[in-house]
Structure 1
Amino acid sequence: MAGILLVEDDPSVRAGLELALTRQGHSVTAYATGEEALDHVRSRRPEIAILDVMLPGIDGVEVCRRIRRLGPLPIILLTARGDDLDVVVGLEAGADDYVVKPVEPRVLDARIRAILRRLESATPDRLTFGDLVIDRGALKVSLAGKEIHLTPTELRLLLELVRHPGQVLNRRYLLRAVWDHTHVADSRLVDACVQRIRAKIEPAPADPVYIHTVRGFGYRFSPP
């Protein structure tokens, strides 16, 4: 179903996930190091990257940052249980989702399929809010005539907010709508993604004019 780049330095975990995901119908290319993964992304274009945070040499978070500079490839992080700092840093680096180790292959497959659904769900439409233009058919966003590069998850979240201008959307709703998550503890996915979007579309991210925080509730898209 998907061309997956898997990066995991533990040989047994890597082999197990590669086998399980292949049985789910995916095409998996697996590596043990971040350097190999970056070479693969530069020469080919997988549909999704799955990165272990703890890698020898270049760690998973740095690999995520470098992949993000190359384009909007969806990225899922594999993180050890309880390592909240790894999760937060990874999300700020541009990861779209994360799965806690030990990894249940069915859970990982579900996250992969959710990302694929998000990629396929955009419908042709052109939305204009002042200088901000969102072309859902072309999956492009521009600000004052300059194209803004968003990841698929960032674009999905922005589109969800744009669908409800002026309305406050709580984090639980956004988790379900964008990530297919139901655990409110994963709300940091929403917060980190909003921060990344603001850094790209807001003239002054610390004083946003498009996406506003409603403390204790969630976020509201209020174009000028």
Structure 2
Amino acid sequence: MAKLLIVDDDIHIRKLVLTYAELEGLQCAEAASGREALEKIKAGDFDLVILDIMMPGIDGFETLGELRKLSQVPVIMLTSRGEEGDKLLGFNLGVDDYVVKPFSPKELMARAGAVIKRSKSSVNEEIRFGDLYISPGARTVLIGDRSLNLTPKEFDLLLILAQNERLVLTREQLLEKVWEYNYVGDTRTVDTHVKSLREHLGEYRNLIQTVWGVGYKFEYHEET
């Protein structure tokens, strides 16, 4: 059973997240401050930390900085802030995902599940959808016996979508995850790469679905 640490000074937020997390079968612990969270991380192993930014004492960013000296446990930042500068700081400190309040508890749990799944899978573990095989370690993609000739960014884009199956990723999130903020441009580059990637995928092109006005998601069905 995966173990989750919920860090927020607002008891109502903690209890809301705890309720939904336990419904997903997660074992939960709580911390009302950054200091308390660091003590609990020193004392036990966790599979994921959901961490608020705006807290008394040391805030979420400071807590994350100290946490990274102790552990590489995945972290989802939970915050009322949505500014790009805050996201940049969080990702530079090693955050795995970013959810802005007010949030959907079900979406938060979907993101939590995806982060835990990624962290537990081997970097070399092959991902399979029907006859589509993605090998993260070898950075290769096969459809049956046919090898796809993808660019590095096309491969990274396909991999992050596949690792977050059924989860909608915005164009901004894909830019953050694939281009890592050092890319100077706009979200149209995501659309261009998705178009090219679909052409490579051929009969599997419909695995990448457009969510109009938001971004993209990867979804496989047996009949695909």
TM-score (norm 2): 0.64
Aligned to 1:62: 62
**Residues 168, 214 of structure 1: 8 Å contact kept:** no
Q: Tell me, what secondary structure is at the counterpart of 2:4?
A: strand
1:190 is matched with which residue? 178
Residue 173 (str. 1) matches residue 166 (str. 2): no
The root-mean-square deviation of aligned C-alpha atoms, in Å, is: 2.9
Q: What code does the residue aligned with 2:101 have?
A: K
Task: List gaps (5 residues or longer) in structure 2.
Answer: 126-134, 141-148, 194-224
Give the 3-state SS of the residue equivalent to 2:136 in structure 1.
helix
SS of 2:98's equivalent in the other structure is strand
CA distance in 2, matches of 1:214, 1:166: 22
Q: Does 1:73 align with 2:73?
A: yes
What residue number does 1:104 align with?
Answer: 104
Shift in Å at residue 61 of structure 1?
1.2
SS in 1 for 2:103: coil
Q: Is the 8 A contact 1:8 1:14 kept in 2?
A: yes
Q: Which runs of 5+ in 1 are unaligned?
A: 126-135, 137-158, 196-212, 219-224
CA contact (8 A) 1:53 1:86 kept: no
Which residue identity does 2:39 align to in structure 1?
D
**Matched residue, 1:94:** 94
Aligned residue runs from structure 1 range 117-136, under 5 A: 117-122=117-122
Separation in 1, partners of 2:8, 2:97 = 16
Return the alpha-carbon distance in structure 2 between the equivalents of residues 178 and 58 of structure 1. 33
Compare CA radii of gyration and give the structure with the larger one. 2
Aligned length: 167
Matches within 5 A, 1:198-209: none
Residue type matched to 1:71 in 2? S
Per-residue CA deviations over 1:12-31 (Å, capped at 9, x if unaligned) read 11221112212221111111
Which secondary structure does the structure 1 equivalent of 2:9 belong to?
A: coil
* Pair 1:163 & 2:139 matched: yes
Q: Is the 8 A contact 1:91 1:189 kept in 2?
A: no
Counterpart of 1:50 in 2: which secondary structure?
strand
- Are 2:54 and 2:60, in contact at CA under 8 Å, matched by a contact in 1? yes
Q: Which amino acid aligns with 1:169?
A: K
Deviations 1:101-160 (A, max 9, x none): 11211111111111222134327x6xxxxxxxxxx7xxxxxxxxxxxxxxxxxxxxxx83
Structure 1 outlier segments of 4+, above 4 Å: 178-181, 213-218
TM-score by length of 1: 0.64
Secondary structure at the aligned position of 1:68 is classed as helix
SS in 2 for 1:30: strand
Cα deviation, residue 58, structure 1: 0.9
In 2, the alpha carbon distance for the partners of 1:43 and 1:83 equals 33
1:71 to partner: Cα distance: 2.3
Specify the code of the residue in structure 1 equivalent to 2:14.
Answer: R
Residue number in structure 1 paired with 2:2: 2
Deviation track 1:35-84 (CA, whole Å, cap 9, x = no partner) reads 00000001111111110111111111111111112122111101225332
Structure 2 CA distance, aligned partners of 1:162 and 1:97? 25
